Amino acid sequence: MWLQNTNHSLDKEQSFCPLKATTGFPCPSCGITKSIVYFYDGNLLKSLSFHLFGPLVVGFCFFIIILFLVELKAKKTYFRKWFYNRKLAYYLAAFLIGYHIIRLILFVQDNSWNDIVQQSIWK
């Protein structure tokens, strides 16, 4: 591919996340952009190591585009009850919270306090 990240400079790049900049700790969506970039690059394992939802976001975007094109052509709506399902939203939120707690535990185990402070504005 012509956009491949061959030198892997993306691995250590500073995040633009305001929460990470102020606290040094990642927010629930930190790493998703890097995950999407590595997914486009064809490196699924590296993509999943940055954020589990990266490939899922790409897949969901393609699904939504195709779904909307089909809905426009058929002049019917599909899956609306799933998109506005409160129970599904709660399950997704609970999964994201659980995933983020696990990511925070691993982040604290892998980084010293000085490393965390270096990733913030309080250097």
Per-residue pLDDT tens digits for 51-72:
999 999 999 999 999 999 999 9
Residue 4, domain member (yes or no) = no
- Give the residue numbers spanning the domain of 75: 18-118
Residue 110, domain member (yes or no) = yes
Residue 123, domain member (yes or no) = no
Predicted pLDDT at 2: 47
Residue 82, domain member (yes or no) = yes
- Over residues 103-114, the mean pLDDT reads 92
- Over residues 80-101, the mean pLDDT reads 92
Give the torsion sign (CA, 14, 8, 95, 71). Answer: positive
Residue 62, domain member (yes or no) = yes
- Over residues 71-97, the mean pLDDT reads 91
Predicted pLDDT at 1: 45
Question: For residues 1 and 4, which has the higher predicted lDDT (pLDDT)?
Answer: 4
Predicted pLDDT at 93: 95
Residue 6, domain member (yes or no) = no
> In the predicted model, is pLDDT for residue 4 greater than 80?
no
Residue 86, domain member (yes or no) = yes
Predicted pLDDT at 7: 53
The DSSP line for 6-75 is TT-GGGGPPP--HHHHHHSSPPTTTTHHHHHHHHHHT-HHHHHHH-THHHHHHHHHHHHHHHHHHHHHHT
pTM over 0.85: no
By the 8 A CB rule, do 100 and 28 touch? yes
| Distance from C-alpha of 119 to C-alpha of 110, rounded to nearest angstrom | 13
Residue 11, domain member (yes or no) = no
Number of domains observed in the structure of the chain: 1
